[in-house]
Chain A
Amino acid sequence: EPEVTQTPSHQVTQMGQEVILRCVPISNHLYFYWYRQILGQKVEFLVSFYNNEISEKSEIFDDQFSVERPDGSNFTLKIRSTKLEDSAMYFCASSLQESQYFGPGTRLLVL
């Protein structure tokens, strides 16, 4: 059964540094998402992407965040200048219609 994959599984960075989180959605899916989950808390929506553009974004997704689909398979989340409060698990998800399937996540730690 196809699954969403994400790399890296863990990322440690210094405050102010740029990070890029990578995702490979399920191949025939059309909608792509990024969510984050701060330790012990609920999953929070960041952004959705369809037809090569952002379709919706939350208040969390400010100018420090950007997404890109650089080729036919990858979907990336960039954080330009990381802050301590960006430390969280970041999940990519994809869907063909309603059902969203999540990747294993990237645990980001900002020091």
Chain B
Amino acid sequence: GENVEQHPSTLSVQEGDSAVIKCTYSDSASNYFPWYKQELGKRPQLIIDIRSNVGEKKDQRIAVTLNKTAKHFSLHITETQPEDSAVYFCAASKNYGQNFVFGPGTRLSVLP
């Protein structure tokens, strides 16, 4: 079955710097890759997603890139702010209605 790995497990950046989180997946049939932000004790919140027919997607300070050949995708956050501090999870799935396989998460700390 699908296996999703995520690096780094923890990441500390200074406010205003960029943060990059990388995920790799194993199943070449996976075609949808969402990113979730989870603050302590709260629900995972969808922040951006990308489909396999697209190489890059951007939404304000957040962008996601996908390399299908290498089977990896990355989350880029620019101009980080303290409120970006949270655990970020990547996930992969094969089609809508299918289960998500989540990565183990990255704890991002943005230091003021």
Contact = CB atoms under 8 A, between A and B. Distances in A.
Contact of A50 (B36, B45, B89, B97): B97
B89 A43 contact: yes
Interface string A53-84: 00110100000000000000000000000000
Contacts of B91: 43
A83 B95 CA distance: 33
A33 B93 CA distance: 13
A33 B100 CA distance: 10
A31 B100 CA distance: 13
Interface string A2-41: 0010000000000000000000000000110101000001
A52 to B, nearest CB: 14
Interface residues of A, number: 26
B86 interface: no
B25 to A, nearest CB: 14
Interface of B: 32, 34, 36, 42-46, 49, 51, 89, 91, 93, 95-105
19 contacts: A4-B43, A30-B97, A31-B97, A42-B105, A45-B99, A45-B100, A50-B97, A56-B98, A56-B99, A91-B43, A97-B96, A98-B51, A99-B46, A100-B34, A100-B46, A101-B46, A102-B36, A102-B44, A104-B42
